[in-house]
Structure formats: structure tokens, C-alpha cells
Amino acid sequence: MDAAAQDADRTAADRCRLDALRADIEAHNRRYYVEDAPSISDAQYDRLMAELQALEQDHPDWVTPDSPTQRVGAAPLDHFSTVQHAVRMLSLGNAFEAADVTAFDERITATLIESGLLADGVGGVAYVAEYKFDGLAVTLRYEQGRLIQAATRGDGVQGEDITANMRTLRSVPLRLAGDAPAVLEVRGEVLMTRADFQRLNEAQVARGDKPFVNPRNAAAGSLRQLDPRVTATRPLRFYAYGWGQILDAAGAEVQPSATHSGMLDWLAGFGFAVSPGRAPCRGAAALLRFYETVGASRASLPYDIDGVVYKVDELRAQAVLGFVARAPRFAIAHKFPAQEETTRLLGIDVQVGRTGALTPVARLQPVFVGGVTVTNATLHNEDEIRRKDVRIGDTVVVRRAGDVIPEVVGPVLALRPADAQVFDLQAVCPVCPECGSAVERPEGEAITRCTGGLFCPAQRKQTLWHAASRKALDIDGLGDKLIEQLVDSGRVRTLADLYALADPDGRGELELSTYPRMGAKSARNLVEAIRQRRRPALSRLLYALGIRHVGETTARDVARHFGSIEAIMDASEEALLQVPDVGPVVAASIRRFFAEAHNREVIADLRAAGVEPQAEVIPAGEKPLAGKTLVLTGTLPTLSRDEATRLILAAGGKVSGSVSRKTAWVVAGLDAGSKLAKANELGVAVIDEAGLQALLNS
């Protein structure tokens, strides 16, 4: 074979390999970004991409706009040009109450009965219900199966041309698989998952840039970059929820399915991600059940949604119902209570925690957010205030998701007044506001702390409340209000003083009965509850002492290892490090706690008050969960969290409060939240209560 023939063969082989690489890479993009089911490692993906880039470098005339290598971004734009939408992009009407949904269904039903599309007495209108993504609406135009244009919604009639930026999204097919029509416009939402948003903000902070306020703002800002190379670095995803113009080769309109749900399945066949939470519903009652179900699981979703959308499923019925102004009559958005609102930051107060931590708390002009009226929100710590550049007098964004403590997300800089004040904790609070002790910020820590210890009334109150809590000594009837009264009156200063209230001659009971809202019966019940806790499990007492870094699991491990409070008090750091899962930080914290004379006095006073901690008893027999770590989340059908924990511990397992790759199982019940989402993200096995019982009985 001559040289020319050999070159031709090599060129043909290169062309075949290039086509195969493009097809493989796009398939892997779909599995990773659309189906959330990657089939190769990142390193393998990078090798495929490098091979494709090398081939295109050798054959530059083979580079096409729809090649996976072109997703890195083109040259910066001077401005966004305007795009006229072939089919108007519509908005949706909103429903905020159940009555709005019922009225919507009644209007739909009456119109369809009148038109003959729905018979009287039939079991309700057929709808499809979907998530309402909290992102940016865009439209993609494909001609002959190739992406040729992308645009924002704009005013519905025309939007901005963002084609170069949308090409960088790996969840957007550059070329459609299968038998695509001559023209296809796909409508959908660009968004960012919470995990991707967190990683992006961490990178922003590491570079010294300001973090984004929320995933929606991050997605919108990323998509409207004039430099597509910036967009290419942002973890954006596209979810299709509708369509615009669809034409065949002759220019005639095409309708591949008779239903909205069928059309979504058709779009999914071309490689688009569609709403994974969509469901068929008949009638208003079914729509409201869908709303409640999605609302309960909203916090565990990987992305933000601000409601659900109901659409009449039959396209023929949609055509009959038509449109009003800029919204269709056949669809409505049922919004969740707002999780973010803006309000004015009136001031910043300082709260003192159990370990002396000083936490800045925003005092807000009251605002209704997440279903409740919020007047205070956490600012976390001094570094967070500086990072977010929050100032007293600012208009700020406040977020509340579910039962999560409200937090200040950041300021609205455009509304910042000229007299906005910078907050400096060390300047505002050189001493603890509760006791006047000096405050300090240990090197390497983000938290400023009061040095007063038990001398500080705030720490004393928090310590006693913690000691009496259900997971510690579990003293029923000893609430935070009574503790506040006991400390403020000077009657109780230490944990041992609580036990002194249960004196044998009844003076403590009589004294308690004089406190507001107590009475003789409540005082008697409380004294009896204190007496019943004179022989607590050693682990509960250790946890009740409130030692920094010592949680329930660590207290249990240490108690089992040493067997007595005296042995723990006298243990060196080296001895403490012999306890499984106890590291240098925890060991140093325990040693430092018992090195303080006043803490050892508390133990001596407890002993004098008749408190006898009981050594941990490790049940004998087989341990089906030996060496396994489990995480509990949500509400189990029959077991309380404490009961499930005791069963797991008795079976040799451990219970952790957070999910990691070392977690063996996550036991999920009703209303499981972020821990379930983390388990799914890490691929940790998830079981229910029945699965837990099966493990325990194995």
C-alpha cells in the first residue's frame, strides 16, 4: 500500500474515532448531568476529552459548533443581542391558598364540560403536577437537530441571545439524538443545585470574591456573563418543562403527543432532563395532596423549588381553555410560603451560649417569611458578618427553610443607607454582656467566647438547661424559665445545687412551690424527678457536664472505656486517645475541663449530694451491627429516636449525627431531611424502620 493510501486509512480511522468519542462523551454528559447516574470516573472522562481535543487539533477543519470540546466558551461578547420568540413565552398565574386551587379546578371543569371534552360525573380533570423550579427561564431552538440559538424569557415576546453561554452547559444537548423535527424549541429552567452552589461559594471566598446570595441569583448571574468562558466554569443545569415552535421539514406544525406528560417523555428521549417529581392527578383534592407531599420533602431536594405547577394534561383541552393576558388558563403555579424576604436590620445583639460562645443575632423589622413572622435571625459569627458585609441599617435578605433557624443571607447593596454602621464584636463587646468577663477568640477559631465559665450567669443557665435535657439527665419538669428563675435568685449555681433541692426534709420542695407557675404538685413532681436521676448512666452524666466537643456518642465511648467518673477525671490525654474515635481535640478538651479546680468541685459536690453514676453495661451476645455506624433521620413509625438509638447500641453499632462515606446505613423515616439527601449524594444505603429491625434481628 502506498503512502497516500495509508494516510487515507489513518484519516478515515481518525474520523471514525472522533465520531465515536463525541457520541461517548455526550452519552456520559447525559448520564452525569441529566440522569444523575455517572458510569465512568472523572479521570476516565477527562482522558476521553483529551483524546478528542488531540484529534481536533490534528484536524482543525473537523471542529464543529456541536462538538463537546466547544463547551469551554467562546470569546467575550460586547453585549447581548435581542431575540424575537417564534412562540410567545408565557408566565403563570399564582395560587397561594387551597381555595385558589379549588377555584382553578372549578373553572377548568366548567369550561371542559361546556365544550363537551369532559362528561358530567366523570372523576375530575386529568392534570399533570410538576415542581416549580426556582431558576431562570430560557428557550432553546434546534434546527435539523442542532442547537442554533438560546434566549432568556425577557418580556415574553423577545429576550436576550445567550446561545454562547448555553452551549457551555453539559446538560444541554448540542445535537439531538433520534428522529428530531426540522425545528424544535425547548423551554425550561436553568438552575444550580444546592451542593454545587455551596462549592461555588467556597471557591468564591477562597479567591477573595464575594459569595452569591442564593442558587437562583448565582444561576442568573452565571448565565448573563458576557464572557462565556466564565459561564463554562459555573455548575449550571437545564430542566425542560415545555416547548415552543415544532415544525416538520415542510414547515407544518407538529404535535408528537396528545398530552403534556407525553410531550415531556418525548423531550426526555432527546436527552433533556425533565422534572423528576411530576405526577398525574385528577381533581383538586389530588392536586392539593401533591402540594402537601412535595412541601414536606422540599428541604431534601437537591435544588430549590418555590412551588408546584398544575397543567391540564390533554393538549386538546389546553387549546380549548386558551390564554388570558400573558398566562395560560390551563395552568397555574401553587406557590409555597416565601422562604426569602427582605427587611431592615435594626441592630445586632449578642447572645451567650453554654460554652461561652458569643453569637451575633440580627434584630429585624418584623417580616413574614417561611410561614412565620421573623424578628430575629442568626448572623453566625463575626467572620460571617464581615464576609457578607452586613451593616446595621441595611436592607437584608432573610432566609427561612422549614424549621431551620432564620438567617441573614446578605445585604441589598443598592439600598444601603449612607449611615449604615459596621459591626465589630471586639469593639462593641470587649466584655461579656452577661457577666462583664473578658472575651477572647482562640487562635484558629471563628467563635469569640466569654472567659467567665460558670461565673457567667448565661453560661450557667445554658449549662443547667443542657444537663436537664432529655438526652442528658432527663429531669422532667425543669424547663428554661424555671432555670432562669433559680439562677437569677442565686438559689442554683451548679449542677449539684439542683440535687440539693431534693433534700430529705422537704425544704427544697416547699421553696420550689413558691416560684411563679409552680405550685405544690409541680414542685413535688420536680423533686421526685430529681431524686430519680441520682443514679444516672455514666455516659449521661458525662454528656450533661457540657464539655466542649463531647457529644452523646463520644460520652458513651469514653464512659464504656473508663468505667467511672474518677477514672475519666484522672485520665491523661494519652489515655483518652486510646478511646475509639477520640482524637487530639476531644482528648485535650476533656483533659482541660477536669484540670479546672471548679469543675472537679462540681463532681465532688454531686457525690456529696448522693449522685452515683452507673457504669455502662454492654449487653452480651452476638452484635449484628458491631463496627457499623448508622444515622437516624425523620420520624420512624413506632420507634422514638432514643429507642432506636438504644437498640442500635445494644447490637454493637454506633449512631452518628452526620452522614459520611463511613456511614453503613441511614435509617430514614417520615419527613427525612438533609441527611437523606446527603446519603443519596454519597451513595450510602438508606433503609426504613423495617430494614433496621431486619438488621437487628439478623
Q: Region 494-518: what's the mean pLDDT?
A: 86
Task: Measure the CA–CA gap between 541 and 604, rounded to whole angstroms.
Answer: 13
Q: Which residue has the higher pLDDT, 596 or 142?
A: 142
Residue 41 has pLDDT above 70, yes or no: no
Q: Region 547-574: what's the mean pLDDT?
A: 89
Query: Which pLDDT score, from 0 to 100, does residue 384 have?
Result: 86
Domain formed by 538-608, architecture = Orthogonal Bundle (1.10)
Residue 36 has pLDDT above 70, yes or no: no
* pTM of the model as a whole: 0.50
pLDDT band at 352 (very low <50, low <70, confident <90, very high): confident
Residue 511 has pLDDT above 90, yes or no: no
Q: Cite the DSSP H helix spans in 332-407.
A: 382-388
CATH assignment, 629-696 = 3.40.50.10190
Instruction: Please tell me the least confidently modeled range out of 10-19, 235-244, 482-491.
Output: 10-19
Domain formed by 453-531, architecture = Orthogonal Bundle (1.10)
Q: Is 588 helix (H, G, I), strand (E, B) or coil?
A: helix
Q: Is 51 helix (H, G, I), strand (E, B) or coil?
A: helix
Other Cβ atoms within 10 Å of 30 Cβ, number: 19
Mean pLDDT of the chain: 85
pLDDT band at 121 (very low <50, low <70, confident <90, very high): low
Query: Which pLDDT score, from 0 to 100, does residue 179 have?
Result: 87
**370, 423, 425, 367: which is closest to 396 by C-alpha?**
367
Each residue's pLDDT tens digit, 353-373: 777 788 899 999 998 886 678
pLDDT band at 73 (very low <50, low <70, confident <90, very high): very low
Task: Measure the CA–CA gap between 127 and 124, rounded to whole angstroms.
Answer: 9
Element housing 137 (H / E): strand 136-143
For 150, 223, 300, 386, the CA distances from 66, given in Å and listed in that order, are: 14, 19, 35, 44
Q: Is 132 helix (H, G, I), strand (E, B) or coil?
A: strand
Residue 262 has pLDDT above 90, yes or no: yes
Contact 312, 92 (CB under 8 A): no
Q: Region 167-182: what's the mean pLDDT?
A: 89
Contact 302, 677 (CB under 8 A): yes
Q: Which residue has the higher pLDDT, 7 or 55?
A: 55
Contact 253, 217 (CB under 8 A): no
Helices (H) and strands (E) in the chain, counts: 26, 27
Contact 310, 331 (CB under 8 A): yes
Instruction: Please tell me the least confidently modeled range out of 127-136, 217-226, 255-264.
Output: 217-226
**246, 218, 222: which is closest to 233 by C-alpha?**
222
**163, 210, 164, 172: which is closest to 191 by C-alpha?**
172
**Cα angle 248, 254, 257; round to 5:** 135
For 114, 359, 447, 455, 469, the CA distances from 548, given in Å and listed in that order, are: 70, 16, 13, 17, 16
Domain 3-63 falls in which CATH fold? Helix Hairpins (1.10.287)
Residue 278 has pLDDT above 80, yes or no: yes
The DSSP secondary-structure symbol of 87 reads: S
Query: Which pLDDT score, from 0 to 100, does residue 102 have?
Result: 94
575: which residues sit within 8 A by CB, 6+ positions away?
Answer: none
Task: Please check whether the two domains, 342-434 and 629-696, share a CATH topology.
Answer: no
pLDDT band at 105 (very low <50, low <70, confident <90, very high): very high
Each residue's pLDDT tens digit, 520-552: 888 899 999 999 999 999 999 999 988 888 888
Each residue's pLDDT tens digit, 308-342: 999 999 999 999 998 876 789 999 999 887 678 89
Q: Region 20-39: what's the mean pLDDT?
A: 71
- The percent of residues in the chain predicted with pLDDT above 90, rounded, is 31
For 152, 210, 390, the CA distances from 417, given in Å and listed in that order, are: 33, 20, 12
Q: Is 554 helix (H, G, I), strand (E, B) or coil?
A: helix
Q: Indicate the domain borders of the chain.
A: 3-63, 126-335, 342-434, 453-531, 538-608, 629-696
Task: Measure the CA–CA gap between 343 and 364, rounded to whole angstroms.
Answer: 7
Instruction: Please tell me the least confidently modeled range out of 233-247, 279-293, 684-698.
Output: 684-698
Q: Given 3.30.365.10, 2.40.50.90, 3.40.47.10, 2.40.50.140, which CATH number is that of 342-434?
A: 2.40.50.140
Q: Region 592-615: what's the mean pLDDT?
A: 87
> 335 catalytic, yes or no?
no
- The percent of residues in the chain predicted with pLDDT above 70, rounded, is 92
Instruction: Please tell me the least confidently modeled range out of 7-21, 230-244, 292-306.
Output: 7-21
pLDDT band at 178 (very low <50, low <70, confident <90, very high): confident
Q: Is 527 helix (H, G, I), strand (E, B) or coil?
A: helix
Cell of 620: 452480651
Q: Is 207 helix (H, G, I), strand (E, B) or coil?
A: coil
Other Cβ atoms within 10 Å of 392 Cβ, number: 17
For 79, 141, 188, the CA distances from 144, given in Å and listed in that order, are: 28, 10, 20
Q: Is 179 helix (H, G, I), strand (E, B) or coil?
A: coil
Half-sphere exposure of 202 (CA within 13 A, CB side): 6
CATH assignment, 126-335 = 3.30.470.30
Residue 35 has pLDDT above 60, yes or no: no
The DSSP secondary-structure symbol of 253 reads: B
Query: Which pLDDT score, from 0 to 100, does residue 697 have?
Result: 81
The per-residue DSSP string of 457-505 comes to HHHHHHHHHHHHSTTTT--TT--HHHHHHHHHTTS-SSHHHHHHTT-TT
Query: Which pLDDT score, from 0 to 100, does residue 38 have?
Result: 63
Task: Measure the CA–CA gap between 218 and 209, rounded to whole angstroms.
Answer: 13
Residue 405 has pLDDT above 90, yes or no: no
